[in-house]
Structure 1
């Protein structure tokens, strides 16, 4: 009997716990009775003005209440939203509830919220809400919010009296299971409640055991205080937990509203990816106000790390004296971004809230800002006392362009994962991203791929992240013969076409991690550019390369856009980067012509700068690379033949970046014998060498081609020298002639035609597999070549520079004879009339002689041959372009415009294309001293002026056919070596 009494007491205690409401609990009543099975009724909430005055009360159906609020109430009850709602006085279905009104002015910003705690509400009751007729009722959908689980790691509470308490269940491997109470503590309980939309837990115990047939999925949860999803603490295992203590050890959980903790912003889908798999050791992510998103490009940095690989956890990085630009840049690289815009201490900004996670890593020091992960840097897990405060946590704001936006053949990336360390392995081949088949893919291959990405090792190389059906599968049967390889292209080259027997269900998914048992990778972004012998540097920009950009998109098909130049330094320097050209001091139409020549166009119609054309081309946030650009000869072929400076004026900002509009005709559209061009490359400084002979473009055979010849080719094209030749996978078309096969060159030559004249017929001893390809570059800002558009014409210099003296004399004699004939046939008219006629004709002859004589000094050549004046576009009803000799007025206008005497640049003499129909942009608003360079979403607006996205279509044309279309790209990562202190924007802040 005594045992029965004890059992009854035990049961009553269990019921008391199960039946206990917690602050914020909601329920539905009908005619004064409650049942957990009700889907419709008058809403009651267990609430009060403070945590000690809770009681059951009603919610007022006032003007702020609508479908959004009704949906949230049904979500909190565990249903899939509301079907109807209204005031109790408008229906007799639920009777009258005499409880006092507890809440009014309920207002929810999102109908997907999970609890009313996520909404605004008031306990100060308006007089209009006192009547029981104003009590709120709802009728919910009968389907449960968990009836069709959306993702692995979804959780629910089961078996309790109210929706705020019950057995904690998690969905894994297609089945609902329980959580073992072993090591389950306050942070795990709080994390689970926050996933459900509450701010805190009220209790956790083992009083609601699950079915004996249920699996137990989780045990030993390791959560931190900022976690909002249980899946960030533990990933779904492949098999159930085999042992969880003795007796019932299933966790039961009660959740409540607690104003002392930050409100959760979770919705049903917030934690969708959190439980997909455990983060890999060394994974980094960004947090804002306690929320993580893989789309963030700015926030407080967290790293999944610990002293050993056994039990890593999320923690912060201290922004101490060793943390600077290089370290912030590497973090952005690891996150997949192009580099860092700003960085600093969390305590110096309110943009990202406070992250209460403990500090995990200190004394981060990166020897190179080009590194790809923090594993390549030195760091410490011994935390200094000065780093304990949350205000010392490091934050970064990364540029929004991705590190792979300007890819090279053989570059790889991970896509589709929750974190940057895991995803579908994709490789860039033949101008397109594709996948890797898992046939024969093993540990050595996985390790090589991870090392290419800057990690030391892999964690997994299987997964279910299938690529799109439209994606090619580039690599199959990858076999790396050594675990020490650091580039996947060393094991398998890009194929010319797809060739495999795989489907996308076999796509490799790869996880990479820090592993101290393996040698750290020293890779940077450019390390593997030349690893693929089949590509050997194809598509790699070298010092002096140019390209045009529009709104962050780089393409060699653009004829107009923001000018971006690559490098200054040796061809292999890891410190080269893309940069802009400043308009200040001396930039003129001459320089614009030269830029267009280097881009292989016949000249420039006009030029402008970012401060007034950002609505057309956007703002390029690269650093300024060149200033004081002055071209003494508008016929030069490359920008580094001009005078430029790398010492940038303090007046140069992103608003001063130069843009040009080039004519669409190519510089070789009416070629001369012996003219050269490069075709088939991704940039204009590389490609297949073609020479114009006998009225057709043909190739050059490599039989007699040498380093001397390579240097001459690049000189003729306006570059200092060559980088490589015979390394690009490009050959001429079968019908093309092979013109040069007997080159005999001297190192003093500047024209390849000096090595061999055009033959009468194509070579018969060579095939196109022997065609020469080349990559040219200019290693300094003082090019040693003075070659122009007309230097290498194969005719004599007198023919090149104007009419010969004999020709001029002949013409003069002809004119005099013509005058004599006119005088002869004029008869014997009146003497005065004859004298006037003789005088007029003699004056005309003298003027003709002067003009023809002057032609030796200022020739008027064929504009399609050497382009002394830019070729106008094929338009009608336009003035012809001025000659170069007549361009002084235009140059003066540009100079005045540069001196800011005019708010807009002078229109080109023959503008191409026509001006857009919309109004000019507003005046340039300078950036503030600091700016986050961010955000990607409107919830975190920038702190100062920035350029909005262009709402109008870009009216400029593009050309096709040469160079081959490339995938639009953004610049490679910035590697600027001398950053300012952390609390300053290191470079002009990003506009995003």
Structure 2
């Protein structure tokens, strides 16, 4: 049995082991933060990330106003990282909490960021302007430079202690996705840019004929011709746009500048900004996709071109859009790439989304101001309003189509011209209408573009819809009545003459009658 002395010694030994372990391992789990310490947030890797500084017992971010290479060098030096290739940029992901510094100015030789010129807590920034740094990189690291925003730019890769560019031969979205993944973007994002979209680099061109599957974690792991083996110029520098799948508005569309909510200039939301669409190749199949995305039911949508709804402002995001007409969103259609275009805003594309649930449907016709309900000036419904039809080339074939569309049976319809039923009011929607006479609706006949005409309302077309059955019946009834009246009249005349032709005996009045003697000779029928 152990003595009390042995038990005390055992307890003392265990306590000593625990205290020793605490002393040895405590520094690995507890880091004492001091005023002015810096760290890299934003999932920092390879010496790059959002800069955060410790102040008043709280970590906070730094605004990127005046943020440059000198400030970045100081941060990298304070972190114990290399400063030769240090650079500053705007953070990919915004931080949270207080913004401690703004307008920081470093010479570049300071050892701590809080030694630079600054003022705590004074700023006019949001977290979309959080500053970030990239310290001396590792072999194979990538970066984006000269883009208008931090998530796009010319691709550069670090090799042999120097940055270099990538040639755009075979460069595609699968390569772009690898670059974005390596830079820390979540999701399968990344669109390729080529032809020196973001300007020409001046470092060596390191990679050519890059071929990524799209699932690699680093660009250097993709196939290529070998480091420095290339036949390119910097006009072929490859670029990348890393869009953010977390932005709920990315790819949304809206209509602007229209006289009604269901028509207007098409604008699409991208990279936190609204932009326009060029009308090159723009057609009804593209318009139907826009209307579907906006929530219109049915296969509706008509394209408008040439800045119909006024000119928008920069940027123009899409050009050469090619939709099948069945896509659910405009961004899913083929196009030249975000921001790749050769258009002016006089070519802004537009859309008219007519609603199949309206009482008056697109292409409906009516007759107005007629002398009866079966005739009148022809008007057609388009873009939410009624308009007239010009009488150029207007004939009975066109009239028969109008009458058929209005529900008249039989091959009926007589054309009238020269504003027979008075002139209408603007707009004049159709001109040079040419129907075969068998179409179901007037809009299906050939005609000039909607609204294209050289007419005045003195040339408004009209129609008389006469049903053959109705006309024959009326004529038959009128004929029967006329013949009957004629026979009755003739019978009455015969009866009168027959009565008058009969001789009557003389009437000899008595002397008291005191009237002259009248004989039958005094009566004659002529």
Question: Which structure: larger Rg?
Answer: 2
TM-score with structure 1 length normalisation?
0.21
TM-score with structure 2 length normalisation?
0.34
Which structure carries more relative contact order (alpha carbon 8 Å, separation 6+)?
1
